[in-house]
Amino acid sequence: MNFAYRFLGSTSASSDAASSSFAFAPDTLRQPTFFTGKVARHLAFREAISALHHVVVSDLRFKPRDRTAYFEWLKQNEANFLAEATAQSAALKPRIAELQDRIRGFDRERDRLMKPFWAARQSYFNYLYKQNRDAWIVLDPVITVHPDEIFFECFSLDESSYGRLSCDHDVFESLGEMAFGTTNIDYSHALYDEFQKIRSYRDTTLTIDPSGFEVQTGDDLDFREEKIDLPDSWVRGFLQVSSAMTLPAHVFDLHPVDMANILTRLAQRKEQAGPRSLRFVLKPDAPVEVVIEPWHDRLTFRRSIYRGKSPAEVRIWGRRRLAILGRALPLARSVQVHLTGTGLPSFFVVDFGGLRFTLGLSGWTANDWSSAGQFDLLAPRHRIDNDTAQRVFAALGKSHTATAAELAQHTGVDQALVHAALTAYTQAGRVMFDLDKSLYRLRELTREPLSPAQLRFASAQEEKADRLINANLVTIGNIDRNHGVRAINGSVLDNARTEQVNLVIDDDDRLVEARCSCHFYGHNKMMRGPCEHMLALRRIFHSQVEGVAQDGPAIA
């Protein structure tokens, strides 16, 4: 998906003995959004925004070793190896040895001559990596200025972590003029270094610079236009995690030291095999317990009591991403945890008092087919007509923030329908649900509205699976369970033909084996990922058998 931005100049940051200032350059193609204020909670702001930076640059995807050079060497020496293998005559061997010797001599000479070039090239690449680290940022964070707070949102490079830093206006002193709205900012790695220089004895000014909106003609060549091509998967991941904030969740508070204990245990050991989940054991009015697999290390948090009404056990994966919270915990008052369900996104809200940092983790780290088809977070959850939805959206637009109850009162629309409308807009990236304050906010993620229908499915197989499920053509047969591994048999009626499907899901909720009688599987096996029948059976299994709620009324 292509996005275009237009910045007047670049974001700048500077510090000296007396002050630090950060001036973010907003996207002038969007509705004017600006802000200026002097930070009053210096250290908390510094730690929180540093944690946000770590989300922006986070990439925990497996990076295989680069074997290009090895394969190149192999290709160049193939002829040698072939000659050696086939040489039968004793007379040929000395000739082969002589030629190989000459070749080695040429190679040495070539290496000697090329060495300065290779060294210079590597220095250049190192310089580029160091000086152009900003190229590694996929999408610059968005900033939203609202009547009660300003907040930054971002999504990580590996499409698995969401970050949000919200600052109430009383975190600032000397507030200047502001214009409400959402804009993209020109973010850079150099900003992180300047954030580290924030001190309580220095005035720290944060500005979202309005000057770009004041230039009438826009012909000034100081404007900088950027066009980026975002992968659909990245946008989809962002919307999925954001949509999950509207799901019902198990909510409880953890003491910051309790959260630090989880990180400490994870940092002390490295698992060689699965399962690799964190299992939260929740019992009403009892201390929260966390089991760290595969070691079954059980932590009991005596000062963190679960106040929910019904017990639950929720497993989450990709736990190493929680290390991002390490920077934020020391100055936190509490950590509120929102668990939407096993394998579904989870949210950790670190409260500093006036500032809140939210880390949202998707249900997976590697967005590959082993976790595909579990849930469809972008599936329409409720039916609502366009006119009603637009009325609700317009009402939210007037105040920028509101609870569902307030919007129901203003519009006269039933509260359940208000939820439904706002959920749909959340899935479209135009509204977000604020977990901290339990209300909805107008937040246009992109300048032009996204098309949820276009982004909903990662592949044609997912789309077909959705049609099969909606048509009730999926039947679960028998399920065998063995030490957390589930073998599921089922059938799917597709085009008047019944396809037999077998799935094996391991204890880390990964699809590790699958078979289907369809042509797609017969032709491709698993090289092109699971077929639509496998995906459909898996979704039905997770929702009907394992009972993970994927819709329902959002939290009020």
Instruction: Summarize as ranges the residues that interact with another protein (CB under 8 A).
Output: 9-10, 15-17, 42-43, 46-47, 50, 193, 196-197, 199-201, 220-222, 255-258, 260-261, 263-265, 267-268, 299, 301-303, 323, 326, 329-331
CA dist 301 and 524 (Å) reads 49
- Buried b or exposed e, range 169-206, using 16+ CB within 10 angstroms: bebbeeeeebebbbbbbbbbbebbebbeebeeebebbb
Q: Is 88 exposed, middle or buried (0-12, 13-18, 19+ CB in 10 A)?
A: exposed
Residue 302 or 523: which CB sits closer to another protein? 302
Q: Minimum distance from CB of 417 to another protein (Å)?
A: 45
Helix (H, G, I), strand (E, B) or coil at 512: strand
Q: Give start and end residues of each alpha helix (H) in 245-300.
A: 256-268
Residue 220 or 513: which CB sits closer to another protein? 220
Residue 245 or 292: which CB sits closer to another protein? 292
Q: Tell me the two tokens of residue 358.
A: 């939210």
Q: Minimum distance from CB of 15 to another protein (Å)?
A: 7
Sign, CA dihedral 414-416-419-425, equals negative
Residue 93 or 302: which CB sits closer to another protein? 302
Q: Minimum distance from CB of 241 to another protein (Å)?
A: 24
Q: Minimum distance from CB of 225 to another protein (Å)?
A: 11
CA dist 462 and 57 (Å) reads 29
Q: Minimum distance from CB of 163 to another protein (Å)?
A: 18
CA angle (68, 74, 77) in 5-degree steps:
145
Helix (H, G, I), strand (E, B) or coil at 506: coil
Q: Minimum distance from CB of 264 to another protein (Å)?
A: 5
Chain centroid, CA 131 distance in Å: 25
Q: Minimum distance from CB of 100 to another protein (Å)?
A: 31
Residue 14 or 470: which CB sits closer to another protein? 14
Residue 256 or 360: which CB sits closer to another protein? 256
Q: Which of 283, 295, 554 is nearest to 418 (CA)?
A: 554
Q: Minimum distance from CB of 354 to another protein (Å)?
A: 16
Residue 292 or 422: which CB sits closer to another protein? 292
Residue 245 or 328: which CB sits closer to another protein? 328
Residue 12 or 403: which CB sits closer to another protein? 12
Chain centroid, CA 83 distance in Å: 52
CA dist 147 and 453 (Å) reads 32
Helix (H, G, I), strand (E, B) or coil at 43: helix
- Buried b or exposed e, range 229-239, using 16+ CB within 10 angstroms: eeeeebbbbbb
Residue 76 or 196: which CB sits closer to another protein? 196
Q: Minimum distance from CB of 199 to another protein (Å)?
A: 5
Instruction: Enumerate residues 6+ apart whose C-beta is below 8 A from 288.
Output: 252, 254, 258, 280, 281, 282, 300, 301, 304, 305, 306
CA dist 314 and 281 (Å) reads 7
Q: Minimum distance from CB of 214 to another protein (Å)?
A: 17
